[in-house]
Homo-oligomer: A and B are copies of this chain.
Amino acid sequence: MSKPVTVTQAAAMLSAADRVLILTHQFPDGDTLGSGFALCRALRALGKQAQVVCSDPIPEKYDYMFEELPVQDFEPAFICAVDVADAALLGEGLLPYADQVELCIDHHASHREYERQLLLDATMGATAMLILQVMEQMGVTVDSAMADCLYTGIATDTGCFKYSNVTPLAHRMAAQLIEAGAHSESINRAMFDIKSRARLALEQLALSSITYYYRDRCAVMVITEDMMETTGATENDMEGLSPLPRQIEGVWVGLTLRRKDDGNYKVSVRTGNHADAAQICGLLGGGGHARAAGCTLSGTVEEVTEQLLKAVATAVPRITT
């Protein structure tokens, strides 16, 4: 069992620490990276050694987060995980640290405890919001680079202030971060707007693959290796595809299936206010948030789809009527 801590307690722990290794989750996104690099910059501003690590390569579009931030090599004395909801999400490269995590800062309601101390607040739309509070408690002045990192975390995890997890606090923090120098426009352009031509082509193929179930209230999109090859799309072109099926008029549950190298399917579930994505994935050994969750399933695409449709019907009985 982890010991729950407050923002003030987490700040005190970090203020007392040095040689801090910051762990982010695999398939890194804007929130885990923004949280990690903001915290890293804050700790260095206080004269400490700190370094962010990730088991996967960091997509190029996040490069601005660690510009002019030289890599520091040290024997860690304090290990802190950010936005890592489950030890398994550390990924292979960081798994050896799983039982050495002193503090985890997270906002996932589905968090599975693995750390000694846990700062968890599921009312926060992004872990970056907790990091900002911790930084303020540590007496750090948020500079423009930190503001860019934190703004990225909040913007990406709230779908640019669009999702149900947006609170007045998220907006007020965004205002504060823009005042502190966050380059909101170029960040949003890079995170949400810009698509490579390969991505555009992939999106069109993926959309054509959609099949509908339960009187068109459930939409299933499948992304195959063929599509990736045909379009020349890379891993970086994949982000942001999973919300698409749910965006179709009348769809309650949007499912995106993607075959992984090991033959399993990575499944992403998105829902509106008629269905709980975490509940659906919970039935299949996965987890996440109410409107966005995931799981991994094995079998053929037909078998995986059947498993998913059953879970959808169990979690959302109304969808079948």
Contacts and interface: CB of A to CB of B under 8 A. Distances in A.
25 contacts: A160-B160, A160-B161, A160-B162, A161-B161, A161-B184, A161-B188, A162-B188, A162-B189, A162-B192, A162-B193, A163-B188, A166-B178, A167-B178, A168-B174, A168-B176, A169-B175, A171-B171, A171-B175, A172-B172, A172-B175, A189-B272, A194-B248, A195-B247, A200-B207, A204-B208
A185 B194 CA distance: 24
A248 B188 CA distance: 14
Contacts of A166: 178, 184-185
A72 interface: no
B168 A178 contact: yes
A234 interface: no
Interface of A: 160-164, 166-169, 171-172, 174-176, 178-179, 184-186, 188-189, 192-197, 200, 204, 207-208, 243, 246-249, 272-273
A100 B166 CA distance: 42
A169 B174 CA distance: 10
A204 B162 CA distance: 24
A246 B159 CA distance: 20
Given A200-B207, A247-B195, A161 B174 contact: yes
A207 B208 CA distance: 14
A163 B162 CA distance: 14
Interface of A, helix, strand, loop or mixed by DSSP = helix
A268 B189 CA distance: 19
A200 B207 CA distance: 9
A203 to B, nearest CB: 9
Nearest to A184: B166
Q: How many copies does the complex hold?
A: 2
A196 B169 CA distance: 33
Enumerate the 5 nearest inter-chain pairs by beta-carbon distance, A residue then B residue, closest first: A168-B175, A171-B175, A164-B185, A162-B188, A171-B171
B249 A195 contact: yes
A164 B186 CA distance: 8
A249 B168 contact: no
Given A162-B189, A186-B273, 12 more contacts: A160-B160, A161-B174, A162-B185, A162-B188, A163-B188, A164-B185, A166-B178, A168-B175, A193-B243, A193-B246, A194-B247, A204-B204
Nearest to A243: B193
B179 A168 contact: yes
A193 B174 CA distance: 22
Contacts of A169: 175
Contacts of A167: 178
A207 to B, nearest CB: 6
A199 B316 CA distance: 27
A164 B187 CA distance: 11
A168 B176 CA distance: 7
Nearest to A212: B197
A194 B249 contact: yes
Contacts of A163: 185, 188
